[in-house]
Amino acid sequence: MDGLVGNRVPEDVPGGCTRPVFRIPPGAGAEQIGSIGTRAKAVLVFGPDASADDVAATLDALPETAYSAIVQTTRASLAGFQRLIDDDRLFYLACGELPPRELDALIDGALGERHAGATLDRYVGAASLRRIALAQSVVELTNALRGAAAAAVAAEGTRCVLFDGERGTLWVPNESPSESPAAGLAGFIFRTGATVCLPHLGGDARFDRDLDHPGGDAADRFLGVPVCADSKVVAVLAAMRPSHALPFEPLDVAAMEALAAHASPYAAAWLDDAPDPSGPFRRRALRAVEQPPGAASEPLHLDSAWMRRATWLFFATLLALLAAFVALKEFF
């Protein structure tokens, strides 16, 4: 967007294409504005200190262009835009400068490029997904999930709280004490299976510092989602931002929930790995089969109880055959 100031060229996008998105500087000349009028459709971005008179003059100079005007102005100037609002000439009017992510969302909306929701590959790289798939221990898995969560929602702090089914407690790898699921935001998420998004941790009746954010600031922002397997919550994945950062948004919630859904079979494999009563194979192998196509990047690994004894059975059979051969040789 910064390249649009002054030269009035469309916005560059990946793939060598351009989009008709123009940032209009204060006091743009008629010649500059006229170059936009050659287009059938344009998205015009004014501000952050746009005046109502300048915006109206620019729009009046584009009678043949179907435009969507996004205006960023000051609170003191809001009243001057009422006529443009009443005449339905503005796509959106913001009081102050919008963060890049919010401005991009408005531009996408004006261009008809709305996204139905968060997709995992948009927020988490292939390397992070591979770390989750190749985790060889609970610690490796939780570290991979925390790294993926930090990347997905630009979090400065993350936490992965696991459920110990044998003891009925919540615990975090490399932390000694276990906690009851009867308290804390992690306990609430575990009990309800609900996502929790808070502008600040402090003041919430469910917040338990020891379980939810040890050593952290109570003013931090919080987003926590359940990781489920077989309709049961097996872990809670949480992300935190400092109070001076932007609050978590619906897209952040969608990204975290998508990550939790992707992590479900891997978490289940490590947290509930008892043999399946209907057959010899362990739940880890069966859950891998149940994954949707493309959900895992690695081939299926079968891990049955009897296969671990196959080597010993082979050598025992070989020794028995050798003993029988020796005995027959002596007999004859």
Encode pLDDT of 208-230 as tens digits.
888 899 988 999 999 999 999 88
Q: Which of 131, 124, 153 is nearest to 249 (CA)?
A: 153
Other CB atoms within a 10 A radius of the CB of residue 256 amount to: 26
Interatomic CA distance for residues 58 and 29, integer angstroms:
9
Token pair of 201 as six digits: 């941790």
- The letter for the amino acid at 265 is P
Q: Which pLDDT score is estimated for 31?
A: 61
Per-residue pLDDT reduced to its tens digit, 37-88: 667 788 889 988 888 988 888 888 888 778 888 999 888 888 899 898 888 8
pLDDT exceeds 90 at position 295:
no
Token pair of 317 as six digits: 């059979």
Residue 11 near residue 19 (C-beta atoms within 8 A): yes
CATH fourth-level superfamily of 120-271: GAF domain (3.30.450.40)
Q: Which pLDDT score is estimated for 260?
A: 92
Side by side, the strands of the sheet bearing 196-198 are 169-171, 157-164, 232-241, 221-229, 196-198
- Using DSSP bridges, classify how beta strands 41-46 and 66-73 pair: parallel, antiparallel or unpaired: parallel
Q: Which of 308, 162, 307, 140 is nearest to 227 (CA)?
A: 162
Name every residue whose Cβ is closer than 8 Å to that of residue 314 and which is 6 or more positions away in sequence.
Answer: none
Q: Which pLDDT score is estimated for 93?
A: 86
Phi and psi angles of residue 2, each rounded to the nearest 5 degrees, phi first? -60, -30
Helix, strand, coil content of the chain in percent (nearest 5): 40, 20, 40
Per-residue pLDDT reduced to its tens digit, 121-150: 667 788 888 899 898 888 899 999 999 999
Q: Which pLDDT score is estimated for 2?
A: 35
Label residue 319 by pLDDT band (50, 70, 90).
confident
Interatomic CA distance for residues 158 and 147, integer angstroms:
8
| pTM for the whole structure | 0.58
